[in-house]
Amino acid sequence: MTPAKLLGIPENFAEHGGSVDHMIDVVHYFMIALFVGWTLFFFVAIFRYWRRRSPKASYQGVTSHVSTHTEIGVVIIEAILLLGFAFPLWEERTDRFEDAVEQDAVRVRAIGYQFAWRYHYPGADGKFGRLDPRFIKQPGDTGVDPEDPNGWDDFVSGSVLKVPVDRPAIIQVTSTDVIHNYAIVPMRIQQDAIPGRDIPMWFTPIQKLETYVVCAQLCGEGHANMRGMMEVVSEEAYGKWAAEQSAAAFERNKPQTPGLAQR
């Protein structure tokens, strides 16, 4: 059984999650080795320098270079973890972002506020409306300019993120009040939600599921209740749902006066 399973980490449902779990396993194997090594050293030191065995203090200090070599070994192993696992994984995630964009990824803005999440979808045209903080009247507002035609078909999904299976999803994380942290553990992703910034993260779901979305950053007294839901559905179900939501939003948001519609 791997350390990830022993720690009770939920099953992975993302394309890149296997690499993340592998890195977690390697780090914990190293931690176990350090724990065993330092525990053995602790008991050896207790036995070796027991008062009855060494009644007199030594003023020469340590003459062996074992501790120096051990410290160098620890530094080398930590460098291997960074250079061999962490950096390559991060490079893969950043380099493949453009590939995700080219694969017709689903784009969603995840808006955090005390103490819930809202999801802003770009609608049938695939374009978000122009964003302006002046249009954020209360926490959780999208901030879309109501006069921008690109935003007329944008729609908002309460606390449920819905994405299709086997298709990249790009989540642009932001906040309208304090710093939050958007985390979907089965997708092995999380990102700080910072007011005034849209920070993208992406993943590709490999199975249908329903799971929790949580805030992983202490954000106030209601932090523990800041949870949402994520649904991974079929491409057909997602397409039908998104089309219905976009059409309803357009009817609701389009201008009622001909003069405004021509702008």
Which CATH number is 91's domain given? 1.10.287
User: Mean pLDDT, to the nearest integer, of 130-149?
Assistant: 93
Element (H, E) at 109: strand 106-113
pLDDT value of residue 212: 95
262/13 Cα distance (integer angstroms):
46
Q: How many domains does the chain have?
A: 2
Examine the fold and report which residue of 95, 121, 136 is the final residue of a domain before the chain moves on. Answer: 95
Cβ contact 119:110 at 8 Å: yes
Tell whether the model's pLDDT for residue 32 goes beyond 70: yes
Which CATH number goes with the domain that contains 182? 2.60.40.420
Examine the fold and report which residue of 66, 95, 124 is the final residue of a domain before the chain moves on. Answer: 95
% of the chain with per-residue pLDDT over 70: 90
116 confidence band (pLDDT: 50, 70, 90): very high
Residue 149 lies in a domain: yes
Residue 155 lies in a domain: yes
Alpha helices for the chain (secondary structure H): 3-6, 17-48, 66-81, 87-95, 97-102, 235-253, 258-261
137/140 Cα distance (integer angstroms):
9
Backbone φ, ψ for residue 92 (5° rounding): -60, -45
Range of the domain at 181: 105-261
Q: Which of 63-72, 129-138, 241-250 has the lowest mean pLDDT?
A: 63-72
Query: What 8-state DSSP symbol labels residue 217?
Result: S
- This prediction has a pTM of 0.80
Based on the fold, state whether residues 134 and 257 are members of the same structural domain.
yes
Examine the fold and report which residue of 95, 129, 159 is the final residue of a domain before the chain moves on. Answer: 95
Cα torsion 5, 7, 10, 12: sign: negative
pLDDT value of residue 95: 63
Based on the fold, state whether residues 83 and 115 are members of the same structural domain.
no
Based on the fold, state whether residues 73 and 188 are members of the same structural domain.
no
152/142 Cα distance (integer angstroms):
12
Mean pLDDT of the chain: 87
Based on the fold, state whether residues 161 and 248 are members of the same structural domain.
yes
The long-range contacts involving 192-199, CB below 8 angstroms and separated by at least 24 positions, are: 192/217, 193/110, 193/111, 193/112, 193/217, 196/133, 198/109, 198/131, 198/172, 198/173, 198/174, 199/172, 199/173, 199/174
Tell whether the model's pLDDT for residue 258 goes beyond 70: no
250/176 Cα distance (integer angstroms):
24
Q: Which of 47-51, 110-114, 207-211 has the lowest mean pLDDT?
A: 47-51
48/136 Cα distance (integer angstroms):
68
Based on the fold, state whether residues 239 and 129 are members of the same structural domain.
yes
Based on the fold, state whether residues 34 and 148 are members of the same structural domain.
no
pLDDT value of residue 254: 85
62 confidence band (pLDDT: 50, 70, 90): low
pLDDT value of residue 261: 46
Tally: H helices and E strands in the chain: 7, 10
Based on the fold, state whether residues 122 and 217 are members of the same structural domain.
yes
Based on the fold, state whether residues 117 and 225 are members of the same structural domain.
yes
Based on the fold, state whether residues 83 and 142 are members of the same structural domain.
no
User: Mean pLDDT, to the nearest integer, of 103-130?
Assistant: 94
pLDDT value of residue 78: 81
Residue 100 lies in a domain: no
pLDDT value of residue 61: 65
Residue with the two structure tokens 């805030």: 215
